[in-house]
Amino acid sequence: MSDDVKNLKGASRRDFIKSATGIAISTGIVLGGLGISPKDTDAKESIPKKWDETYDIVIIGSGFAGLAAAIEARNSGANVVVIEKMPVYGGNSIINGGDFSACGTKMQKEAGINDSPELMLKDMLRAGLYLNNPELAKIVAYQSNDALEWCANYIGAKFARLNFHGGHSVKRAHQTINASGSELVNKMLSKAKELGVKMYLKTKLERFIVNNDNRVIGIEVKKDYRFPDEKTGKKTYIKASKAVILASGGFSRDINLRKIHDPRLDERFESTNHPGATGEAIMAACMANAMDVHMDWIQLGPWTSPDEKGFGYVPLFCERLVGYGPMIDPKTGKRFFKETGNRKERADAIILIGHPVVILGDSYAVNKQVFPAALKKGLENGSIKKFETLEDLAKNYNMPLAQFKNEITKWNSFVEKKKDDDFDCMIFPDAKPTIEPPFFAARLWPKVHHTMGGLVINENAKVIGFDMKPIAGFYAAGEVTGGIHGAVRLGGVAMADCIVFGRIAGKNAAKEIPWG
């Protein structure tokens, strides 16, 4: 046995990562820019002699998952702090499209939609290529209705309509009244404040502090941190008597970490996410012995536009039109893929074509389906365009006119008979042929949207370590966790996942016996 192997035998994961991290830092490969320095990597060496602040529960991240955890933990009697590194609360949650997928709900019943947790689970597993942890996916599907009702009845968020997302069998995305996650985040923020949850902005998690029993006992943060300047902020130690809950979201905006796991996703791909969607908190958790999974399953949204920045308005246009209007490759003037396919299938098909494609709808479909404010904003910023005739539309996108018109005639015949013979697109019962002017269209090119990978958790939202056991005092929820969605997260299931597991994490963390 070589000395290296001998030395590794008795070494913990953390010790191993400590040495690996040293290499990574010296080569600048992994942790450059993440604010983690080699001297910080040995948690046991640096338990602070004095804590600056103490709470029962310390939560990192102020999106759906962190706020759901905070509210439940507080309602279970714990004193709670939420830290947020950005100058504003809400993370990616506050800018998402506000679609909450849930099954067997009141709104679905009123719309005559037959749905069940079994069907939602089946959809999640099929889209996830069966890589999902089935127990965790099951919890999301089976508790989705309860989570939605909690958001509506207890938090007071308003949901106005039901939407379809590709890959689901039925319409089950409950859209907030303003078609934005801000409706829910702002009401959760008010509730958390009203309940007495302490909240800090500009406070960045640097590392988890672990005691000799391998229990997470607190965190080191930088207060008054000014994102993304790593030179800013004051070192502060926060003790967590009961538990730390990590709800720091995904890493779609972390190009270095993205490229480690999927080298195709370099600077050429924009992201829909807020700038703070970076992966340093996941890495810090790994250095505290947390196991990660599925880090290379990174989702591209197929409904984003190259003609506007970030998430923009086109996703709210495109996703409402699938099953009502066709998606066309402008080079051929023809359809090329099932419009109601899941996100990965559609993004892969567009990338394979190699240039932006076009989605269009006529006045009937657009007025019926698209949220008016999103349409207005998209028209204003030029990412959505309006045309009096199909000829004008074809000309604008340099489409071969005859092929395009033939394709529309064919599409219309599929809509009439409610069956797509070419790509098996779902055509909704209320869809009509694309004939009524004016016509509306937008170009589509994928952007990085969601990272399915993250920390391994169990059904109680406890973080699992490399010894396959839960790490004492450590919970996680939301996009920072991995394994729930497998290869593909379906539309609207992020909200369900964050609220379901955020609540589970908050309730269970509050039950912990204080360590000291």
Beta strand 80-83 pairing with 198-200: parallel
The two most distant CA atoms of the chain are separated, in Å, by 77
Q: How far is the CB of 242 from ligand ADP (least distance, A)?
A: 19
Q: Which is nearer to ligand ADP, 83 or 136 (CB)?
A: 83
Give the other-Cβ count within 10 Å of 284's Cβ: 26
Give the other-Cβ count within 10 Å of 390's Cβ: 20
Tokens representing residue 244 in the block: 């730390």
Query: Which residue out of 343, 346, 443, 503 is catalytically annotated?
Result: 343
Distance of CA 93 to the CA centre of its chain: 8
Q: How far is the CB of 458 from ligand ADP (least distance, A)?
A: 18
Q: How far is the CB of 467 from ligand ADP (least distance, A)?
A: 25
Q: Which is nearer to ligand ADP, 247 or 366 (CB)?
A: 247
Residues 6+ positions from 340 with CB-CB distance below 8 Å: 164, 166, 167, 322, 323, 425, 426
- Residues in contact with ligand ADP by CB under 6 A are 60-66, 83-86, 91-93, 204-205, 247-249, 276-277, 280-281, 478-480, 498
Q: Which is nearer to ligand ADP, 14 or 85 (CB)?
A: 85
Q: How far is the CB of 210 from ligand ADP (least distance, A)?
A: 17
Q: What are phi and psi of 360, to 5 degrees?
A: -140, 160
380 in helix, strand or coil? Answer: helix
Q: How far is the CB of 311 from ligand ADP (least distance, A)?
A: 12
Q: Does 126 participate in catalysis according to the annotation? A: no
Q: How far is the CB of 85 from ligand ADP (least distance, A)?
A: 4
The three-point CA angle 186-191-195 to 5° equals 150
Residues 6+ positions from 396 with CB-CB distance below 8 Å: 385, 387, 441
Residues 6+ positions from 428 with CB-CB distance below 8 Å: 164, 323, 324
Q: Which is nearer to ligand ADP, 115 or 280 (CB)?
A: 280
Q: Which is nearer to ligand ADP, 83 or 192 (CB)?
A: 83
Distance (Å, whole) CA 362 – CA 377: 18
Q: Which is nearer to ligand ADP, 442 or 500 (CB)?
A: 500
Sheet arrangement for strand 99-101: 99-101, 173-176, 159-163
Distance (Å, whole) CA 451 – CA 117: 24
Catalytic (active-site) positions:
343
